[in-house]
Structure 1
Amino acid sequence: MNKYPPECPFCGRYVVRPETTKTEFGEILSGRCNCGAVYVCDPTGHNAGEAYMEALALARGNWEIELMGEDIDYQTKDMDYDLKTHMKIYSAGVSEMKRKLIFVKHGSQNTKDSNRLSADSSQENLLPVTRYSSSSLKRHLKERIKDALISQSYTEIADMARNDKGVIRHLISLAYEKDEVSAWRAIEAMGVVAGELSKEKMDVVRDTIRRLLWSMGEESGGIGWSAAEMLGEIIRSNPDEFADIIPIVWSFKEEEMFRPGVVWAMGRIASVRPDLVRFILKDMQHMITDKNPAVRGYAAWTIGILNENSFIEDINKLTSDKSLIHFYQNGDLAQKTVAEIAIDSVKSMIYKQNK
């Protein structure tokens, strides 16, 4: 493993060690480069999604991430980083690859902006500290959400969201690590929240949809790692209202990083409104032969839900595929082989055919 002094990925200057920064949501490890880029450290590798959202908030100057306009151009970069030695890591082992230093910069930021930002280098003044006066807010909102995810109390999270749009931002950040069950429950909770808010605050839900779609686009730097899955849950919560979003989500199948989530989202929508996603069948031949085992597994599962018997022979070819993938179902995250999913899919279609 090689280590070198960390440099800003935007301007090449060496950056100083991130320091404790006070914000309205607690303390984070952050810094600013002279070029105007801000950076946040995730020293454990377990909160990278949250660190990205914090870096975006620092770049913006407030924490209303879901209100950022689609015309705002942000660039994001990250590096593997060791906080203890303040070194950039190359050729890190698996256990260290997730330790990140995450950078965000306004894509349109000019020299004048950079000079103004670098002149104000006081870490304590980056964002205001909120002094909570109500005893009901003593516990950090994020911790309350985490507790509710553990118990799968999604209606409780929806109740929080009625009074605080910050809940949506936290759910997005908590959905980053998709090898953890809590991330998938955050994804699932987003659907419940959207379903409840769409009854009285449709504008908030539509803004969230726009924000998630933006996060998947090139102008965002492709930071929407779980956006496709969350969009699937939002659509699933109110398919008649959000049917117009389905083709847009499906169009992201062309992006390799989003393809597994897009196919999974289609399966979730199909479980409540198969008629709205049957148009994807013309593309599913490519999905079940994709090089990514997650795409193959989710495709087999989705076809089984759609009960498309013309694919039985093709899915049968996957019943010897021993590739392991994460598979979230009924509140639990398990590792399943593509073969196991394919076998269940074929059995389901044959059962429905003979019923």
Structure 2
Amino acid sequence: MLINERKDNLINELTSSDRWVKPACPFCGLPIARPTEQSLRRPLEMPVGSCNCGAVYAYDATGHNLGSAFSEALVFACNMDWDLAWNLLPGEDYCEDLLEKYDIQSHYIIPAGSYEGRRISGALYFIRMHNDIQEVVWPGVQEKLAKARSKTVSQPAAVRQNKGLRLNKQEIAALVENYQLEPLLETATHDNTIISCLQRMLYTGDELLRLKTADALGRVCAAIAKYNPALVSRLLQRLFTSITDAGYGTSNWGAIDAIGEVIANSPDEFSGYLPFLFKILEIDDSNFRPTALRALGVIARVRPDLITKTISYFVKFACLDDPQTRGNAVWLIKHLATPNSRPGSTETRAALKAIRGDQRLINIYEKGVFEQSSIGQLATQALARLE
């Protein structure tokens, strides 16, 4: 009898409101379901969910990436419409709230912050669109969630390491400099720590080495994405953050080129990040713009169908006087002008014809070397493909 009484007291203690709290929507108070991952690999790497009242939430396992959780919840609430998401205003277009100390394994809020020896620091970031926007996006959100697969509550499988060839930092640097990529790709199949080393190498002031590194990183990420795509998505998020946080600093050197190479080498998995490149393109900065055009050109070279902007959109950049901006814009237009693309508009063709006399040279990276071409030559090639 005494044992049963103690057992009941223990159960009551463990399930009392100060130890376990069933998660509920902060907007309507209804219970919510466990967050789920999307079945298709998209730039949403955090599990997401929705409430019947129209709120959407994203799960941050650490509680330290709330900025990313906010972004993912906001974009998912917009039915993956990135342009819509970044043009909305808090308070005016949507409400936001946060639930902390959430444990996805038990699906409870643990106010004490620990359970069974585990530290509980997860968070659910909530976004609820105002009614006029929600009416438009909600059906698509529900359709995506219906196809979602449940997030596993077990720890992710250990990355396959210590098997086969492993390389130290000096060996990786030498292989990149000599453009010997096969050993890097072999290592990437079982050792994903190579990503960190290559990312650090992006900060070199040597432009050719920087582009070789971005090239290698894109190929390595394609190999790693086959068994750990989340790791590659986190890399992309870090690269974008390095651009937005560093502003005009040098710590973003190589980041934009690396983003282009990663998407180009795994377009089906990571093409959802393309809208971020378009945002960078609109930044009025001579450092960002030509590099963003080059990154888009790298992607267009393998998958021109992924570039949702029309050719005429890029003509305004080709008309700028800066040689790198103009040259990279024309190089991008050349790759967009496929045999299956629509003929260029009269204005597009006229702009390219006006550029044909530009004899300034630019460097075009190709498989570990720079090839020089005049802007006029590129314009002539683009015109030939358009006509």
TM-score (norm 2): 0.51
Give identity over the alignment, percent.
26
Q: Which runs of 5+ in 1 are unaligned?
A: 1-66, 73-135
* Match of residue 302 from structure 1: 332
The answer on 1:143 being equivalent to 2:192 is no
2:268 paired residue among 230, 240, 244: 240
How many Å separate the matches in 2 of 1:173 and 1:187?
11
Q: Which one has the largest radius of gyration?
A: 2
Question: Cα 1:71–1:226, aligned 2, differ >3 Å: closer, same or farther?
Answer: farther
How many Å separate the matches in 2 of 1:163 and 1:175?
22
* Match of residue 312 from structure 1: 349
Cα deviation code 1:148-183 (max 9, x no counterpart):
224433232133345544422332333344654322
Does the Cα contact within 8 Å between 2:330 and 2:379 map onto a contact in 1?
yes
2:255 paired residue among 227, 232, 242: 227
Q: Which runs of 5+ in 2 are unaligned?
A: 1-61, 68-164, 338-342
Taking the TM superposition and a 5 Å limit, the aligned residue runs for 1:1-355 are 141-177=168-204, 179-218=206-245, 222=249, 223-255=251-283, 256=285, 257-279=287-309, 281-307=311-337, 309-310=344-345, 311-347=348-384, 349=385, 353=387
How many Å separate the matches in 2 of 1:177 and 1:325?
20
How many Å separate the matches in 2 of 1:166 and 1:199?
15
What is the CA-CA distance between 1:262 and the residue it aligns to? 1.0
What is the CA-CA distance between 1:346 and the residue it aligns to? 2.6
Does the Cα contact within 8 Å between 2:246 and 2:252 map onto a contact in 1?
no
Structure of greater relative contact order (alpha carbons < 8 Å, 6+ residues apart): 1
Cα deviation code 1:26-48 (max 9, x no counterpart):
xxxxxxxxxxxxxxxxxxxxxxx
Q: What secondary structure does 1:326 align onto?
A: strand
What is the CA-CA distance between 1:331 and the residue it aligns to? 2.9
Cα deviation code 1:71-115 (max 9, x no counterpart):
79xxxxxxxxxxxxxxxxxxxxxxxxxxxxxxxxxxxxxxxxxxx
Q: What secondary structure does 1:320 align onto?
A: coil
Q: What secondary structure does 1:309 align onto?
A: coil
Query: Partner amino acid for 2:368?
Result: G
What is the CA-CA distance between 1:316 and the residue it aligns to? 1.8
How many Å separate the matches in 1 of 2:261 and 2:362?
20
Query: Partner amino acid for 1:281?
Result: I
How many Å separate the matches in 2 of 1:70 and 1:321?
47
How many Å separate the matches in 1 of 2:380 and 2:205?
24
Question: Cα 1:189–1:305, aligned 2, differ >3 Å: closer, same or farther?
Answer: same
TM-score (norm 1): 0.55
* Match of residue 93 from structure 1: none
Cα deviation code 1:244-300 (max 9, x no counterpart):
100111110123121111111111111222111042535312210123211111111
Does the Cα contact within 8 Å between 1:155 and 1:192 map onto a contact in 2?
no
How many Å separate the matches in 1 of 2:255 and 2:182?
21
Cα deviation code 1:158-210 (max 9, x no counterpart):
33345544422332333344654322111111111111111001111011001
Query: Partner amino acid for 2:236?
Result: I
Query: Partner amino acid for 1:155?
Result: E
Q: What secondary structure does 2:302 align onto?
A: coil
Query: Partner amino acid for 1:236?
Result: A
Cα deviation code 1:119-166 (max 9, x no counterpart):
xxxxxxxxxxxxxxxxx87xx823212332244332321333455444
How many Å separate the matches in 2 of 1:221 and 1:293?
20
How many Å separate the matches in 1 of 2:200 and 2:370?
18
* Match of residue 5 from structure 1: none
Count of aligned pairs: 218
